[in-house]
């Protein structure tokens, strides 16, 4: 299997060779990460400036595979992306974090360090139950407490250049315009920078990490059962993604005589009416259920109306 790590949204990489493509098995599709990060954590500098904190844009991205299909990019100062129409969604690799997106942050902080656990659980379920192929970064599956910092082991002269260059690069961001603040960025050459990035493999048996791990396992089980049944990774018309209000994404999967509905409220609280839900639905899980979030705030579900007190994902099913 050959997967490209490439930010250009170039559909040629994924198209078959008889379509003048490269015939690759997959490509990292960063747009999902960038929009999700804007929605969840509010990042808006650098390449994040090309994206809006919009659940509508996130729904479009999940429906297409990526968001930029030729639009102008202010960050790149030119058009970015191509039309991915017809390419199976399983070929798009999406994530909430990876070694670049975490390691290239000044302090190596992970998404769960910047947002609430309910929001992290909600976004995790959306990632794992999307038709694209989810990438899970080491320790993400239990909301690891350790950062993942950029570390190096170069000869001293090169090492000093790396340290100074990294701190100078962060000077472009408002948070680090003060040289004294930049000096606080961990040195990639320092042994403690590496040591602090080691995972604590015992914490996944303790709350709240244990519950997050249980959620990841359960969502992967649902993915194997329902998404394979709908063949959503291969057949684009088996899934529909749409925004519901300003804070919620809805995925609908057709699986023969049944439909699976994933309702992900990524921020805020309140009631939403999900169109098309019958009065009687089977509640498969919510990310605030006790096995995943002891003492969690489970959404109130009454037919097609869902009331959230915290961000959460709800998975429902019904027969036609």
pLDDT tens figures, 6-57 = 999 999 999 999 999 999 999 999 999 999 999 999 999 999 999 999 999 9
Closest CA to 115 of 82, 140, 152: 140
pLDDT in tens, 212-270: 999 999 999 999 988 887 776 567 778 999 999 999 999 999 988 889 999 999 999 99
Q: Specify the higher pLDDT residue, 250 or 304.
A: 250
Contact call for residues 55 and 40 (beta carbons, < 8 A): no
**Integer Cα distance of 28 and 94 in angstroms:** 6
User: What was the pLDDT predicted at 228?
Assistant: 80
Residues forming CATH 2.60.40.1180 domain(s) in the chain = 232-319
Q: What local confidence, expressed as pLDDT, does residue 158 receive?
A: 92
In the chain, which ranges are E strands? Answer: 3-4, 26-28, 72-73, 78-79, 92-95, 133-135, 239-244, 248-255, 258-265, 270-273, 282-286, 300-302, 305-308, 312-319
Q: Are 72 and 78 in contact (CB under 8 A)?
A: yes
Q: Mean of the pLDDT values across residues 266-284?
A: 94
Rounded Cα gap, residues 307 and 299, in angstroms: 5
Q: What is the mean pLDDT of residues 276-288?
A: 94
Say if residue 211's pLDDT is above 80. Answer: yes
C-alpha span between 37 and 27 (Å, rounded): 19
Average pLDDT over residues 105-134: 97
pTM of the model: 0.95
- pLDDT(131) > 70: yes
In contact, 255 and 227? CB cutoff 8 Å: no
Q: What mean pLDDT comes out for the span 100-104?
A: 95
For 149-199, how does the pLDDT look when each residue is reduced to its tens digit (9 = 90+)? 999 999 999 989 988 888 888 888 888 888 888 899 999 999 999 999 999
- 224 CB contacts (<8 Å, ≥6 apart)? none
Average pLDDT over every residue of 117-122: 98
Note the pLDDT of residue 251.
Answer: 97
**Can you tell me the mean pLDDT for 129-157?**
96
Query: CA 102, 103, 104, 107: dihedral to nearest 10 degrees?
Result: 90
Residue 245 in tokens: 């209000």
Query: Domain 232-319 is classified in which CATH homologous superfamily?
Result: Golgi alpha-mannosidase II (2.60.40.1180)
Average pLDDT rounded to a whole number, residues 93-116: 96
């Amino acid at each position: 299997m050959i997967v490209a790590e490439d930010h250009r949204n170039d559909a040629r990489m994924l198209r078959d060779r008889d379509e003048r493509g490269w015939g690759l098995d997959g490509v990292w599709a960063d747009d999902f990460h960038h929009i999700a990060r804007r929605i969840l954590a509010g990042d808006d500098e650098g390449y994040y400036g090309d994206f809006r904190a919009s659940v509508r844009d996130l729904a479009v991205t999940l429906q297409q595979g990526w968001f930029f299909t030729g639009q102008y990019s202010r960050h790149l100062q030119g058009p970015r992306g191509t039309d991915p129409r017809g390419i199976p969604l399983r070929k798009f690799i999406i994530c909430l974090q990876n070694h670049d997106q975490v390691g290239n942050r000044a302090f190596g902080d992970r998404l769960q360090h910047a947002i609430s656990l309910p929001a992290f659980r909600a976004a995790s379920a959306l990632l794992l139950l999307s038709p694209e192929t989810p990438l899970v970064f080491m320790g993400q599956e239990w909301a690891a407490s350790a950062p993942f910092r950029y570390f190096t082991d170069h000869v001293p002269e090169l090492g000093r250049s790396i340290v100074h260059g990294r701190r100078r690069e962060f000077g472009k961001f408002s948070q680090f315009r003060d040289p004294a603040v930049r000096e606080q960025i961990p040195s990639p050459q320092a042994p403690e920078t590496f040591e602090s990035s080691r995972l604590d493999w015992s914490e996944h048996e303790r709350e709240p990490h244990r519950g997050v791990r249980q959620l990841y396992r359960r969502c992967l089980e649902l993915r194997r059962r329902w998404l394979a049944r709908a063949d959503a990774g291969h057949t684009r018309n088996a899934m529909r993604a749409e925004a519901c209000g300003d804070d919620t994404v809805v995925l609908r999967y057709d699986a023969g005589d049944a439909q699976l509905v994933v309702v992900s409220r990524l921020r805020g609280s309140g009631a939403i009416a999900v169109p098309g839900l019958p009065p009687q639905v089977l509640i498969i899980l919510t990310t605030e259920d006790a096995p995943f979030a002891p003492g969690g705030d489970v959404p109130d579900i009454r037919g097609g109306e869902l009331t959230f007190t915290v961000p959460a994902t709800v998975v429902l099913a019904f027969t036609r």
